[in-house]
Amino acid sequence: YERYLMGTTTDAMVELDYWGRKRIHNLKYYTWVEQQGKTYEEIQAQWYDDDYWASIQSEVGEMDRRIEAFNEKSGLLAKLDN
């Protein structure tokens, strides 16, 4: 993983406006519904339900654990400390 993370630059990044964010949101249908078995309503909740993202806060601890496990597996942070 490390060589890809260390080689990342900002040249492929885009600052999105409302319609750019909406376009990317709409692309989630395939990965969320068809691959992960989520419902269309769940995707719509992300965009229209004001409480959706606030409810994600309860999952921050688990997300942090997964990020730490990924960082450990990739070895990137250990190399940055040297």
pTM of the prediction? 0.51
Rg (CA), the chain: 17
Q: What is the dihedral of CA 62, 65, 66, 71, to 10 degrees?
A: 160
Per-residue pLDDT, 30: 83
Rounded distance, CA 42 to CA 66, Å? 22
pLDDT band at 3 (very low <50, low <70, confident <90, very high): confident
The pLDDT of residue 13 is 87
* C-alpha closest to that of 53 among 62, 42, 61: 42
CA distance 46 to 25: 9
Residue pair 78/5 in contact (Cβ under 8 Å)? The answer is: no
Query: Is the pLDDT confidence value at 8 over 90?
Result: no
